[in-house]
Structures are given as C-alpha cells and as structure tokens.
C-alpha cells in the first residue's frame, strides 16, 4: 500500500452459535406469525386469490429490497464509524429487523438494530441512531424529489409541491436543528444535558 493512504479497519466477525440462536429465534417467531395469520379464515381466502407466480415475484422484490437495505447499512456504517459489518449481517440483518418491526409495532426494527450493533460491533446507541436517522433521511429526500416530479407531471395542487419540497430539503432542517440544540444551555441540568449530548452525537454525523 502506498504511503499516506488510509486503510479502513475491518471487523472480522465469526458467526458464533449464540448468533445463530438469535437468528434461529427470529425464524421461529416468523413461523409463529405465519401460523397465526394462517389461522385467520379471511387471510387464507386472500392467499387463495394469489397465484404462485405473483408470490414468486413478490418474494423476488422483497429479497431485492432486503439486499439493498443491507448494502445501505454496510455503506453507512463504513462511512460513519469506519467499520465493516460481516456479510452475514448484510444479508440477514434487514429481514430480521423487518420481523422485529412486526413484533414491536413502534420502531421495533430500529430498537433491534441499535442493540445488535452495540453488542456485536461496539457501536454506541447514539452512533446506531445516527445510522438509522441517516437512512430515514435518504428515504425522505428521495420521496420529496419523486414527489416534486409527480406533482409537476400531473399538475397537482400547490400543497403537494410544498410538502415534496420540504421533504427534499430535509437535511437543512437537521442542520438547523443541530445548531439550535447546540445553543441551548442545558448542560447544567443532569438528565436533560445528557439527552442533549446524546442527540447531538446522533445528529452530528448527518
């Protein structure tokens, strides 16, 4: 390697039996959810209307989305924390997060990813939250840009233009929010000061 070049550290993680147990538990929970849904007559009737071809196409789309989500996680963790997660997690973490999103209705996927990244890669909770916020921010910006295009193409109401524009410039709100939060004199208040420090650490990488 040439002098002056930087080498990004790679975290070599072997898949331990306890990790297989975690993902195995996720599969068991998934099977339990499928069994619970299958016990519903309404759900069974709906499944009967879905052809095998439609199911296969849906599965391919789901796998593609999970794969893209895994690559996105790999990239964000690499850029924000200079760490490289294992390929096992690249492929299996997104579907497991999706499952926990069903088990815990309110941000279950985010909660699961925060604690997994902390336990497995020593990424702090604020650092894990930064990854989630960055991912959400990308989605919001893309939605805003697409919304502007759709609003222009279909000649939608000005409200649609306004909402899409606000979403497209969402990073600016994060930047102003960080500046505002930094100026608040909350360090002297124990719990509030810690919360301020936590959110600043989560927002600053964005």
Q: What is the pLDDT along the chain (206 residues), one digit of tens a residue?
A: 445 445 555 445 555 665 666 667 767 777 777 777 777 777 777 777 777 788 788 889 888 988 888 998 898 888 888 888 888 889 888 888 887 887 777 788 888 888 888 888 888 888 888 888 888 888 888 898 998 888 888 888 888 888 888 888 888 887 777 677 766 666 666 565 666 566 666 666 65
Q: Are 181 and 203 within 8 A, CB to CB?
A: yes
Q: Are 99 and 75 within 8 A, CB to CB?
A: no
Note the pLDDT of residue 153: 84
Note the pLDDT of residue 1: 45
CA–CA dist 103, 144 (Å, integer):
29
Which residue carries 């924390």 as its tokens? Answer: 81
Which stretches of 39-129 are assigned E, i.e. beta strand?
Answer: none
């Amino acid at each position: 390697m040439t002098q002056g070049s930087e080498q990004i550290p790679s975290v070599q993680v072997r898949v331990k039996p306890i990790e297989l147990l975690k993902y195995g538990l996720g599969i068991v929970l998934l099977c339990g959810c499928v069994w619970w849904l299958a016990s519903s007559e309404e759900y069974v009737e709906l499944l009967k209307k879905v052809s095998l071809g439609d199911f296969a196409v849906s599965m391919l789309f789901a796998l593609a989305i999970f794969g893209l989500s895994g690559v996105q996680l790999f990239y964000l963790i690499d850029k924000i924390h200079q760490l490289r997660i294992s390929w096992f997690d690249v492929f299996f973490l997104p579907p497991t997060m999706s499952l926990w999103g069903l088990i815990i209705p309110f941000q279950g996927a985010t909660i699961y990813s925060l604690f997994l990244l902390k336990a497995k890669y020593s990424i702090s909770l604020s650092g894990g939250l930064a990854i989630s916020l960055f991912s959400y921010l990308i989605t919001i910006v893309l939605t805003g840009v697409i919304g502007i295009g759709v609003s222009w193409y279909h000649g939608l109401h000005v409200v649609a233009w306004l909402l899409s524009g606000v979403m497209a410039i969402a990073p600016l709100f994060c930047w102003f929010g960080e500046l505002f939060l930094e100026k608040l004199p909350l360090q002297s208040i124990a719990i509030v000061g810690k919360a301020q420090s936590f959110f600043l650490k989560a927002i600053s990488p964005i």
